[in-house]
Amino acid sequence: MKSTKFFLCGLGLVILSGSLIMSSTPRGTPPVQGPVKTGFLDVPGGKLYYEVAGEGEWIVLVHDGNLHSVTWDEQFPLFSKNHKVVRYDRRGYGKSTYPDKPYSNIEDLAEVFRQFRIDKAVLMGMSAGGGLVMDFALEHPDKVAKMVLVGAVVSGYGYSEHMMTRGGNLTPEIRSDPAKLADFMCHRDPYTFYEGNAEARKKGYDILMKNLQNYKADKYRYLRGPKRPALPNLKEIKVPALIIVGEYDIPDCHAHAGAIETGIAGSKRVIINKAGHIVPMEQPAAFNDLVLKFLSENKRSFKTACS
């Protein structure tokens, strides 16, 4: 049961993450300013692929459980204009090594901070990556300046049967076959991508079919969870937090967002219209504008909705 739970959460609540290689310049975003450094970080029992660019305050991008770090293709170039930005593939995703022994995503993220000598950073996490950001913030509060949590799930809250089975449509047969799972999530699931955005659905499917390891579930049997669940301890998080959810995201994500907003004092939740779960890819302009405003100000007041 434990490995199944990690699978469902990691895969964007049944899917929700990266191999990097910059594709064509994202729509509406400028090319990366200056050189992009790529490589691998050594972590216990594996290697993490990364890309880093820009100068200034650090931003660390943590992907979801579906797509890996390419989730941030429409943000990485723009944010690196005025910040130093690193994005990396978690273990078992994209170009990073596949785990064959116990590992911790929290400890891996701590290694990213240590090896890049990051004293403090803005942490931006998508879905299960958002959950990782909160778990990390509770274990390393001095390392976090601000948080952006996108379709995030929080450890200790749990998931509905509807989420785990997509109303009975996500069968064990589909879940156990990465290619079938990619087809389901991108073409049949009403939540992962907004049904009216055929371009995002196609892009997501094309990426996943080239990175089927993203959907292999056995990685989760090796995954060690946080030392304590985040939900009852969110009050300890004292940094500005922006919570973003797509209008058509799965109901569990909206429930988790409400719990996070209640738990983190002064946080603000915003709904982005015409988006499902993968908001940064589906509505990049609205998402980027919202995040850049958040990064540029210290107060926690934001406009609602967009697009």
DSSP 78-133: HHTTTSEEEEEPPTTSTTSPPPSS-B-HHHHHHHHHHHTT-SSEEEEEETHHHHHH
Q: Is residue 304 part of a domain?
A: no
Residue 192 lies in a domain: yes
**Dihedral sign, CA of 108, 206, 287, 152?**
negative
Half-sphere exposure of 202 (CA within 13 A, CB side): 4
Task: Give the total number of structural domains in the chain.
Answer: 1
* Reported pTM: 0.88
Are 155 and 230 in contact, with CB atoms under 8 Å apart? yes
CATH code for the domain of 45:
3.40.50.1820
Distance CA 237, CA 13 (A): 23
Within-domain flag for 204? yes
CA atoms of 109 and 276, how far apart (whole Å): 26
CB of 279 within 8 A of CB of 272? yes
Q: What is the 3-state secondary structure (H, E, C) of 192-213?
A: CCCCCCHHHHHHHHHHHHCCHH
The answer to the question of residue 160 being in a domain is yes
- Count Cβ neighbours within 10 Å for each residue of 27-55 and write b for 16 or more, e otherwise: eebeebeeebeeeebebeebebbbbbbbe
Q: Is residue 231 domain-resident?
A: yes
Which DSSP letter does residue 68 get? G
pLDDT per residue, tens digit, the chain (307 aa), is 444 344 344 443 333 332 222 223 334 445 666 799 999 999 999 999 999 999 999 999 999 999 999 999 999 999 999 999 999 999 999 999 999 999 999 999 999 999 999 999 999 999 999 999 999 999 999 999 999 999 999 999 999 999 999 999 999 999 999 999 999 999 999 999 999 999 999 999 999 999 999 999 999 999 999 999 999 999 999 999 999 999 999 999 999 999 999 999 999 999 999 999 999 999 999 999 999 999 998 544 433 334 3
Of 170, 206, 217, 172, nearest to 190 (Cα)?
A: 170
Residue recorded with tokens 């660019």: 53
154-178 burial, b if ≥16 CB within 10 A, otherwise e? bbbbebeeebbebeeebeeebbeeb
Q: Which residues form the domain of 200?
A: 2-296
Look at residue 297 in the predicted model and tell me its pLDDT. Answer: 82
Q: How many angstroms separate the Cα of 219 from the Cα of each of 60, 91, 216, 301?
A: 23, 8, 7, 39
294 Cβ contact partners less than 8 Å away, ≥ 6 residues apart: 146, 148, 240, 242, 302
For residue 301, tell me if it sits in a domain. no
Q: Is residue 307 part of a domain?
A: no
The three-class DSSP label of residue 241 is strand
Q: How many CA atoms lie within 13 A of 27 on its CB side?
A: 11
Query: Are 120 and 214 contacting, i.e. CB atoms less than 8 angstroms apart?
Result: no
Angle at 105 between CA 300 and CA 242, to 5 degrees: 10
303 is a domain residue: no
